[in-house]
Structure 1
Amino acid sequence: MALTANDVDRFEASRPRLEAIAYRLLGSAGEAEDAVQETFLRWQAAEVDRIEVPEAWLTKALTNLCLNQLTSARARRETYVGQWLPEPLLAGDPMLGPAETVEQRESVSYAVLTLMERLTPSERAVYVLRAAFDYPHREIAEILDITEAASQQIFHRAGKHVAGGKARAEVPAAAARRIVEEFLAAATSGETGSLVRLLTEDTVAIGDGGGKVPAGVKPFQGAAAVARLVWGLFRPGKAKRTLVGGAPGVYAGVANGGPAVLAVLDGRVIGVMCLEVTAGGIAAVRSQVNPDKLERATARWAATDHGEPLFNAF
């Protein structure tokens, strides 16, 4: 049965919410868009007139598609070159979804998206639907075909995994810029001591190049090791300019609600370094340099006023 204009409008009204759910579940904007499009095809093929609650139907269809995708993604990531990190989204991207509550902002933070890789697909689905979109456990149970008690248990278990042992600090945009500027000043000071003082003792640095851009195969751990790594990344060098094709501009930005260092070359975002801030200092430095995971960030960058760079790297 062909969809009426009203049927299409009903789906399009749900698209932003569906994309935000899919992004949190999959950690990839491109895969989220594909999942939402596949959901539309299923909506198109359904007997829409018989669907009593379209929002619930669409959410269930999307979630099940994402669960299947997560299962296959786990197998793909076993052969992924180097470390896997989520795709970062810059401030203002509508795919970030609702941000009215602490739980909603936390659920889309780069730190939590990374930690959610520890969860099973069902744990991830329950956590996202409950923490980020405030679905009652009764509705989550219907979406996932489990009992309400099972949904509550899964959510409790997922929450413990996502907590990660550290209390992350909420950082307003103005404070995020100051943190990035202080971080970059220390990183380019010519010595590592000032950078070490900004980091927690057990800080970690992870880079994702996807086999397309050089990045560490294993995480760097400890303040001293991470400080040396970061100092080396920003140390000027002709070889680096040759590798990336120029001297990228370095900007202070916000990605997934947290402070981020952005490297931009010829209007293209070539790197996003997300800083995880806790009361004790910067607990993690996660760098996304895989060009496949920076296309949406580049599009968002082009659509915003970002001013002049803090400096040109290398």
Structure 2
Amino acid sequence: MSKQVGLANTFEAHRKHLQAVAYRMLGSLSEAEDAVQETWLRLSREDGRGIENMGGWLTTVVSRICLDMLRTRKSRREDSLETHLPQSFTSQENIIDPEQEAELADSVGIALLVVLGNLNPVERVTFVLHDVFTIPFNEIAPVVGKSETATRQLASRARRRIRGAKTVPEADFAHQRDVVKAFLAAAHLGDFDTLVAMLDPDVVLRDDRQTGSSRVTRGALALAKQVSGRAQKAAQLALVKGQAGIIVAPRGRLLYVLQFTVNQEKIAEVDLISDPERISRLDLAVLSDGTLVNPD
């Protein structure tokens, strides 16, 4: 009994790290907890015998469990967009504290969590282990069942997808990013006058959540009134089809995307996209200053 207690204490010392690994791989706190619990069950069956590097062993096991869970999710067509739909919000609320998950998502980076969901399972596991937790490729290769060279290529491919590619010149993109960032800040603060000044007088907002004529808002005054003080805390800058945009993802679950057209320092058009099929056709990526990515 005392040996089992000692093993449990050792596991608890690693629990926080394992949860961090699993959450970044799965994007769901409830699923991360399931993966960590399964890791404990496997450790208890091993009884700790012959494990020289407990931290490394546990990280490998939880990573393999997460990889299996991601593959199962994909095979059931439960991709990131479907798991991020609004109706899934209440499914785990009796198990996981929504505020706790929201804080965890914010600490990881909402944009990064959303974009990680666009990677295939092996890319996601490889990227998280190497670029987030700085685990060397020779240790990741056995986890994903690839050669070290192939694993390195997976990480590079994932990194390119996460960073995305700008579709406008750097100077234009920097200006565009600053405009969208200022718009988001003014919407958060409820700064009506600043919002009006940033918007083209004939600005158009198209919202696919609405039907009929209500889906279109026209004019700077009308749009400023609609968004002033109503920006969600979970709204964050991101690359949307290679240009500066906004994603809204409470607890890391994507609700909608805002795509902007900026003309002569003013926002001329805004498209609010919430339909999963439309979102799946968007290239989403994190801004270069919004994620921690280690070099090869």
Name the TM-score class by shorter chain: 0.5 to 0.7
Kindly tell me the number of residue pairs found equivalent between the two proteins: 218
Instruction: Give 1:151 deviation, angstroms.
Output: 1.1
Alignment CA distance shift 1:191-1:181 (3 Å): closer
Contact kept? 2:238, 2:247, Cα under 8 Å: no
**Distance in 2, Cα, partners of 1:229 & 1:118:** 35
- The normalised TM-score by structure 1 is 0.55
1:284 aligned partner: 245
RMSD, matched Cα: 4.6
Report how far residue 26 of structure 1 moved: 0.9
Assess if the C-alpha contact under 8 Å between 1:23 and 1:95 holds in 2.
Answer: no
Which residue of the partner structure matches residue 13 of structure 2?
13
Q: Percent identity?
A: 27
Amino acid at match of 2:245: A
Change (3 A) 1:109 1:94: closer
Distance 1:289 1:229 in 2: 26
| Alignment TM-score, normalising by the size of structure 2 | 0.57
Deviation at 1:145, TM superposition (A): 2.9
After TM superposition, the structure 1 = structure 2 runs for residues 232-271 of structure 1, keeping only pairs within 5 Å, are 234=227, 262=232
Structure 1 position 161, deviation (Å):
0.8
1:182 aligns with 2:143: no
Contact 2:183 2:195 survives alignment (8 Å): no
Partner-residue secondary structure (3-state), 1:118: coil
State the partner residue of 2:78: 76
Distance 1:130 1:229 in 2: 47
Write out aligned runs for 1:153-232 (5 A).
153-166=153-166, 181-185=185-189, 188-189=192-193, 194=198, 216=209, 231=224
- SS state at 1:49 partner: coil
User: 1:201-239: per-residue Cα shift (whole Å, max 9, x none)?
Assistant: xxx999xxxxxxxx849xxxxxx99x999757547xxxx
C-alpha distance in structure 1 between counterparts of 2:165 and 2:222, whole Å: 24
Alpha-carbon distance change, 286 to 153 in structure 1, aligned in 2, over 3 angstroms: same
Distance 1:79 1:160, change over 3 A: closer
How many Å apart are 1:285 and its aligned residue? 2.4
| Aligned structure 1 segments of 4 or more residues deviating by more than 6 angstroms | 84-88, 227-230
- Alignment check: 8 A CA contact 1:138 1:148 kept: yes
- In the other structure, the counterpart of 1:151 is 151
Residue in structure 1 matched with residue 136 of structure 2 by the alignment: 136
Structure 1 contact 274–287 (Cα < 8 Å) conserved = yes
1:36 maps to: 36
Task: Please tell me the residue identity of whatever aligns with 1:275.
Answer: Q
Preserved CA contact (<8 Å) 2:84 2:253: no
More helix by share: 2
Q: CA deviation at 1:119?
A: 1.3
| Distance change (3 Å), C-alpha of 1:3 and 1:64 | farther
Q: Tell me how far apart the structure 1 counterparts of residues 160 and 148 of structure 2 sit (CA, whole Å).
A: 19
In 2, Cα distance between equivalents of 1:178 and 1:79: 28
1:274 and 1:36 map into 2 onto residues whose CA distance is 29
